[in-house]
Each structure stands twice: as structure tokens, then as C-alpha cells.
Amino acid sequence: MSKSQSLPDSVDATLQLLNSHGYFAERSLATVLYLSLRLGRPLFLEGEAGVGKTEIAKVLSATLGRKLIRLQCYEGLDVASAVYEWNSAAQMIAIRLAEAAGDSDREQLSSDIFSERYLIKRPLLQALEPDVGGAPVLLIDELDRADEAFEAYLLEILSDFQVTIPELGTFKAPQPPIVIVTSNRTREIHDALKRRCLYHWVDYPSAERELAIVKSRVPGISATLSQQVVRFVQELRDQDFYKNPGVAETIDWATALTQLDARALTAEVVGDTLGALLKYQDDIAKMQSGTMEKVLKEATSDI
């Protein structure tokens, strides 16, 4: 990991920092990120799939030289998987060994097996630990997938940045982690949690920004092809598909096209590579029944 960097001291510096690691952010995102770093408040990012929500935490960790700790949320996520659990198998072995050795000091044994040695630290607890490189970046990804009970628990952690383990005591972060929370908005996150965070809706990028992303992520792509790809995707997003392509799909598609040595978009090459762009059969069928010609015409005119 690179050496820990100090926090950016302006919105422009934040933009530059992200740019230098290939992340092209709108100014509004850089502003809210700058404020979240300065004020030490968690940043809550919502947006469609593949618009760069998760990536921002990764880039932040790389640019600031901080450890990235990721908690991927899912239905049924509980404290044992997110915060800590006791290593009961190892505790059991320790008890058996003590019994075999004729060790009868129960008090001592109990304090031994409930020591840090037998504690399995999960991401939320890891994020509260001091780190030589500075407070880590804690990514709580796709919070909308977790249950509401877990969200309530999280609220407590994000308020105090501490966790109490009854058998062991309280762990408090010497310096609060940099927290990024993301959601795809499959359900609303409670106001109480949002209130503790700064909020930003991550939208699809402008054509200009998406072009910069493609050029940076798909080295070797021709100028004509990159422009046509971006125009095509931007046009597609206006077509009322079930699932619009995100930036991730644009990058995938551009990569696929360059692998096929395409220099410009044609009906044939678009038809062959639709699977990199659209992931639902209904959307693909819609494309094949006329939409493609229209979009292709828009994307390739005057280039």
C-alpha cells in the first residue's frame, strides 16, 4: 500500500486526486466527498447500477493510501458476519486442553477463552482499529440488501464509532474511519441513517465525462470508436429499456469492440456484441426490432 496522504484541501484538489487515479467525477460529487472528508461524516451514495459508487471507495483508499475495509451487505447479514464472533471451535479446544491438563481455575479459563485471541474480527470491528496508515476507508456496499434490523445496528456504530463486546469491553476508533455507504435503492434507507450521512445521487456521466472514462479505461481505442460508443450508449439511455447500461457496461463494450479490432460501429459488429451492453432478453429483442438502426444512425452521424 502507498504511504498515507493528507486529505485534499479544496474541491478542486479532490477532483484532481480522483482524476489522477482514473476516476472522473462530476463537480457535485467531488464537493460532497470533500465535505464528507473534512467534516468526518459518512457519505451515502445512491444511484443506478454501474455508475461508479463502489469504485469511489476503492479510488479513495488508493489515493489516500488508506486500508480499504469492505462490508458487502446481503439479506440475513448479522452481527456475527459484520462485527465479530467468538471462535467457538478454538475455545472448545482450549477448554478440552485445560481439562486434560487438570487445570481447575474456572475463572482464569473463562477470561482466557474470552480474550482477543479467540475473537474473530469482522469488517465493522476491523474498521475501528488503529492503523499506522491512518483511519481506513470503510465501504458499506449495497446497504439496501441488508435487513432493517441490521441498519438499526449500523446506526449505532456510525454515531459513536464504537462497539461493545459484553465479555471483553468497548472498542472505540481512535480516529473515525472514512465511511462510504452505497445503495441501489431497491428499498428506501431509513431517515435516521441518512441523517448521519451526507447524501449524493450518482447519475450517469455526461457524454464528455464518459468519453474521458472510456479513453482512460480502454487504452488503444480509436478516437472515432470511443466517440461512437459513448454517443450510442448515451442515446440508448433515452430509450426506456428495462435496464439501462451503466458505465461498467460502456467500458466492457468498448473493450469487447477493441478486442474484435473494430475501428467504427457497424450494424453487424453492434449486433454481435450486444451481450456486453444489455443483459435482459427483452431489451436485446427491442434493440433487434428497429431501435438499433435508429440509435446507430444517431451515434455515427458526422463523425
Mark the segment that binds Mg ion (CB under 5 A) among 38-46, 47-55, 128-136, 272-280. Answer: 47-55
Measured CA to CA in angstroms, residue 191 lies from 18, 147, 151, 188, 256 at distances of 29, 15, 11, 9, 42
Cβ at position 146, least distance to Mg ion in Å: 14
Sign of CA dihedral 217, 221, 222, 228: negative
- The partner in contact with residue 248, picked from ligand ATP, Mg ion, none with C-beta cut-offs of 5 to 8 angstroms by kind, is ligand ATP
Residues 65-104 that bind ligand ATP (CB under 6 A): none
For the window 17-46, what string marks contact with ligand ATP as x by the rule CB under 6 A? -----xxxx---------------------
Considering only 18, 36, 43, 54, the residue that binds Mg ion (CB under 5 A) is 54
**By beta-carbon distance, which residue lies closest to ligand ATP?**
52
Residue closer to Mg ion, measured from CB, 14 or 54: 54
- Cβ 34 vs Cβ 10: under 8 Å: yes
Residue closer to ligand ATP, measured from CB, 83 or 254: 254
Residue count of the chain: 303
Angle at 84 between CA 80 and CA 90, to 5 degrees: 95
- Cβ 120 vs Cβ 162: under 8 Å: no
Conformation bin of residue 212: beta by default, left when phi > 0, alpha when psi is -120 to 50: alpha
DSSP β-ladder status, 137-141 and 198-202 = unpaired
The yes or no reply on residue 258 touching Mg ion (CB under 5 A) is no
By CB under 6 A, name the binding residues for ligand ATP. 22-25, 47, 49-55, 184, 205, 213, 247-248, 251
Could you list the residues that contact Mg ion (CB under 5 A)? 54
